[in-house]
Amino acid sequence: MNAHDTTYTIEISELCDEPLGPPDITIRGTRHASAHAAIAHLSVSGDDRAINVGGMYLSVTQAEAERLEAAGIPFAYMFDYDGRFMTVPVNDD
């Protein structure tokens, strides 16, 4: 499945304590059952980043991740660093 073929509409109220604009946002990405699956998918897809947003594990393009960051949506980048799982929170005040 191509990441651009799947879209998710997330209620902002589920992700943020304060309203950040529109009540929902559409995220274009591929959903995965686990963080490991999202990270592994990067090597076989056109996606650039694995993220966790609203409890969902997604692989998305760099442009999509940047759009979420600019919109103030809280999420975390996920990485495998030498066999260790790491996250980097974004917009997590």
Would you give the DSSP letter of residue 36?
H
Q: pTM for the complete prediction? A: 0.78
d(CA 36, CA 25): 25
Q: Tell me, what's the pLDDT at 72?
A: 87
Cα 1 from chain centre: 16
Structural domain boundaries in the chain: 3-90
d(CA 44, CA 42): 6
Q: Tell me, what's the pLDDT at 81?
A: 92
User: Quick one: which of 71, 64, 72 has its CA closest to 91?
Assistant: 72
Q: What is the pLDDT of residues 46-55, one digit of tens each?
A: 899 999 998 8
CB-CB contact of 12 with 73 (8 Å)? yes
Q: Tell me, what's the pLDDT at 25?
A: 76
